[in-house]
Amino acid sequence: MLLPLSLAALLSVIDVHGDGRCPAPAEVEAALQALGTGGSGSSRYVAQISELSKGLELTLRSAEGELIASREVRTRADCAQRATAVAVVLAAWEAGLASAPQQAAVLPPLP
């Protein structure tokens, strides 16, 4: 029998890194928490935020380093608005990953 999972159990943790100060990784993590995408446990994904002359570059990788998604966000908004925009993109990516069908394990035949 399958038991329903809570939404919180489906949400994974994203570890946010950045090489700039606008937004700071802590601001993005706070915005993710505000969106309800926080969680506990070890990180399954790593987000990298890089500042560009006209905005931000976002990348999402698995904990093993596999590139999952990348996007350039053109913005001149203030840091709080940038943090919210980044959090929304990351939450959308995360939701897509959480709803993606998982590959079924192949088990050996029963004896």
Which pLDDT tens digit goes with each residue over 15-55? Answer: 999 988 899 999 999 999 888 865 545 678 999 999 998 89
What does the pLDDT read at residue 10? 35
pLDDT tier at 100, thresholds 50, 70, 90: low
pLDDT (tens digit, 9 = 90+) per residue, 47-62? 999 999 889 999 999 9
Q: How far apart are CA 98 and CA 102, in angstroms?
A: 9
> Is this structure's pTM higher than 0.85?
no
69-93 as b/e: b if 16+ CB within 10 A: beeebeeeeeeeebbbbbbebbbeb
- Residues 62-83 have pLDDT tens digits of 989 999 999 999 988 999 999 9
The CA distance from 71 to 12, in Å, is 20
